[in-house]
Amino acid sequence: MKRITLILLLLGTFTLAQASPKTDADKLYEQEKYKEAAAAYQNIIDNEGIAAELYYNLGNSYYKLDDIPNAILNYERALRIDPSDDDTRTNLALARSKTSDKVTPPSEMFFVTWWKNLCNSLSIHTWTTLAVASFILMLLGILAYMFLSSTTLRKIGIYSAIVLFFAVILANLCALGQHLTTRSHTDGIIFSSAVTVKSSPSESSTDLFIIHSGSKVEILDNTLQDWYEVRLEEGKQGWIPTNTLEVI
| Residues 139-180: tens digit of each pLDDT | 999 999 999 999 999 999 999 999 999 999 999 999 998 888
Which structural domain, as residue segments, surrounds residue 239? 187-247
Quick check: is 1 in a domain? Answer: no
The number of domains in the chain is: 3
Tell which of 96, 122, 143 closes a domain: 96
User: Closest Cα to residue 84, out of 49, 126, 50, 37?
Assistant: 126
Helix extents (H) in the chain: 2-18, 21-30, 34-48, 52-64, 68-81, 86-96, 110-119, 124-147, 151-183
Same domain flag for 123 and 91: no
Tell which of 183, 204, 225 closes a domain: 183
Same domain flag for 177 and 191: no
Quick check: is 3 in a domain? Answer: no
Name the residue type at position 132. Answer: V
pTM: 0.79
CATH number for the domain that contains residue 82: 1.25.40.10
Quick check: is 81 in a domain? Answer: yes
Same domain flag for 63 and 117: no
Q: Is 54 helix (H, G, I), strand (E, B) or coil?
A: helix
Q: What is the pLDDT of residue 88?
A: 96
| Residues 49-79: tens digit of each pLDDT | 999 999 999 999 999 999 999 999 999 999 9
Tell which of 74, 96, 118 closes a domain: 96
Quick check: is 4 in a domain? Answer: no
